[in-house]
């Protein structure tokens, strides 16, 4: 797969050299606050993840999120389409923005918009969904801006830091997303 370019973001394949940065991110409590990760992860854990990920179908491999930086590119996170169902033509999305200095800059919204474009125009999916912690207001707003609609709530479905939180299920349908793009 070639790189996917947006206005300020590009998505590229994950490389073994990225593992070191991933380990820093997945061990930062602020970064993982709204992710399902809850235990420390070692470099070996990430290397094992990388080996397993490299054996996945090409369409389900994670992508690195990068932004332009001093004539090069700066890695700020990763994202993925996974759980692809070729019969129902659906898939689930996930994202982690690890560079806290780049939070609240619209990169999450642009990344999710690029992923939707990829899902609908390249992977030929019809429905794309994600799950987000109810308390994660910043992410919910980014997903709405990208074209996701809240469709349900899983009450007290996650337990983290001594508290239960609801999971919000959000989705985008190809037909609705296409209409939204045409209106712009």
Segment 23-68, tens digit of pLDDT = 999 999 999 999 988 888 999 999 988 888 888 888 889 999 999 9
Q: How far apart are CA 34 and CA 44, in angstroms?
A: 23
Cα dihedral 39, 74, 99, 8 sign: negative
pLDDT value for 10: 97
- Alpha helices of 28-106 — where are they, by DSSP H? 43-54
Structural domains in the chain plus CATH codes: 4-183 (3.40.630.30)
Phi/psi for 76 (5° steps) reads -120, -10
Q: How far apart are CA 43 and CA 23, in angstroms?
A: 6
Structure confidence at residue 129 as a pLDDT band (50, 70, 90)? very high
Residues 6+ apart with CB under 8 A from 158: 36, 133, 164, 165, 166, 167
């Amino acid at each position: 797969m070639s790189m996917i370019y947006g206005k300020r973001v590009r998505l590229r394949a994950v490389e073994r050299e990225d593992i070191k940065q991933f380990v820093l991110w997945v061990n930062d409590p602020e970064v993982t606050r709204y992710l399902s990760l809850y235990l420390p992860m070692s470099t070996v854990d990430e290397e094992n993840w990388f080996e397993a990920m490299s054996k996945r179908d090409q369409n389900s491999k994670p992508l690195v999120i990068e932004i332009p930086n001093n004539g090069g590119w700066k890695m700020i996170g990763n994202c993925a389409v996974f759980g692809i169902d070729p019969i129902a033509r659906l898939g689930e999305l996930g994202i982690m923005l690890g560079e806290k200095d780049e939070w609240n800059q619209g990169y999450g919204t642009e990344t999710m918009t690029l992923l939707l474009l990829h899902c609908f125009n390249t992977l030929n999916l019809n429905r794309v969904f994600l799950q987000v912690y109810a308390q994660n207001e910043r992410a919910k707003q980014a997903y709405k801006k990208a074209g996701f609609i809240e469709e349900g709530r899983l009450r007290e479905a996650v337990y983290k830091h001594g508290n239960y939180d609801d999971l919000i299920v959000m989705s985008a349908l190809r037909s609705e997303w296409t209409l939204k793009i045409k209106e712009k």
